[in-house]
Amino acid sequence: MTESSFIHRFEPAANAGSAPLLLLHGTGGDENDLLGLGRMISPGAALLSPRGRVLEHGKPRFFRRLAEGVFDEDDLRRRAHELADFVTEARQRYGLAAPVAVGFSNGANIAAALLLLEPDVLAGAILLRAMVPLSDPPKTDLAGKPVLLLSGQGDPIVPAGNSAHLAALLSQAGASVTHRVLPAGHPLSQADVTLARDWIGNVDARAA
């Protein structure tokens, strides 16, 4: 792969009827972090899991931030386009359909940015503890694209109004958004796994 490549893990599909998953870790994670989650929510799906190329105090991320909850939006836009190029190349290399992104925290935020900036790259997204990524997003056509947004009621990082704004923003762009607020904080819970598994099962069933 080219200079736009990312360090990544790839697991080929054991179930051809499942959408490929693009696994996007949170701050300090790596390409191994969400493989277990991917296997739990969609057994047998192809898994593509890149490592973020930005380091914050030695911890990988997918884009820079200026402070907690304050994003470097110029860097975010550039990194989203880089990630889109990587996904396009990986699809050609591994023979994949457009993937459903499964992103947690920082990974969910760049997945949301991909939906807004590169809508053709993803078939849908599971956004776990996501925030609005761009203060002035472009007009985007996400007609019918399925999105599951799972927020934590006690999340100290993502304000409730911010996740509700993201759900509204994606819905206004035409996405088919399911937004659930769980009795959880920022870390993932078993409810996240169960809801994500049921949701992706419905997505796969509709595609079939």
Catalytic positions, written as ranges = 105, 155, 186
Which DSSP string corresponds to 24-91? E--TT--TTTTHHHHHHHSTT--EEEEPPSEEETTEEESS-EEETTEE-HHHHHHHHHHHHHHHHHHH
183: amino acid identity, one letter: P
String of b and e for 101-127 (b: at least 16 CB within 10 Å)? bbbbbbbbbbbbbbbbbbbebbbbbbb
Nearest to 107 by CA among 199, 205, 186: 186
Nearest to 24 by CA among 77, 76, 102: 102
Structure tokens, 177 = 């958004």
